Amino acid sequence: MNKEEKHDLVLALADQIKEYGNFYITDTADLTVAKVNNIRRQCFEADITMQVAKNSLIKKAMEAAGGDFAPIYDVLKGSSSILFSKSATAPAKLIKALRKKGDKPVLKAAYIDSAVFIGDNQLDTLTKLKSKEQLIGEIIGLLQSPAKNVVSALQSGGSIIAGVVKTLQERG
């Protein structure tokens, strides 16, 4: 790969980092070509983009994308693959499924909406993350609940008061 091709790859990776907002760095070293192709196929089916690149180019791409990626730099050793996805949990779920059949890929790090997760021990946590939409829905539900209770209390209280007024008028 010549200097211009490396530069183009760095720019393409930086664009993907900006576009997706979520990426996972995994170790796929020592896997056969057939196993890597199987991983690529499963990534494609799960709407995940997989890119293999040198660690130095990945680091340059993160620097070009801007943002605080410094904690990730230490894991850029050995062979690295990057998984890009709009879904924060899809790559983690795929890695977990693949690990049922073998010991790779190993999670080195994940960057999810500006949060950094380092190490393979974070895989279970990453599979359980909720999306922004799910969290917003839960917050809206929590905010609506007290308002519904107040409206319900006012409505039931209003009918009680109307009943008392009607009874007083009839007696009166």
DSSP 48: -
Q: What is the pLDDT of residue 161?
A: 57
d(Cα 48, Cα 22) in Å, to the nearest integer?
Answer: 10
Q: What is the pLDDT of residue 32?
A: 86
Q: What is the pLDDT of residue 71?
A: 92
Beta bridge partners of 27: 106
Secondary structure (3-state) at 6: helix
pLDDT along the chain (172 residues), means of 10: 88 92 91 89 93 92 90 91 92 92 91 90 86 75 69 60 62 66
Indicate the pTM of the whole model.
0.76
pLDDT tens for 40-75 read: 999 999 999 999 899 999 999 999 998 889 999 999
Using CA atoms, how far residue 97 sits from 91, 104, 106, in Å, is 10, 10, 12
Neighbours of 43 (CB within 10 A): 21
Q: What is the pLDDT of residue 165?
A: 57
| Contact yes or no for 49/83 (Cβ under 8 A) | yes
d(Cα 159, Cα 138) in Å, to the nearest integer?
Answer: 32
Q: What is the pLDDT of residue 62?
A: 94
Q: What is the pLDDT of residue 153?
A: 61
Average pLDDT of the chain to the nearest whole number:
85
Helix pair angle (33-45, 90-99), 10° resolution: 140
Neighbours of 98 (CB within 10 A): 19
Q: What is the pLDDT of residue 140?
A: 80
Across the chain, the runs of DSSP E, i.e. the strands, are 22-27, 49-52, 81-84, 106-112, 115-118
The counts of H helices and E strands in the chain are 7, 5
d(Cα 97, Cα 93) in Å, to the nearest integer?
Answer: 6
d(Cα 83, Cα 49) in Å, to the nearest integer?
Answer: 6
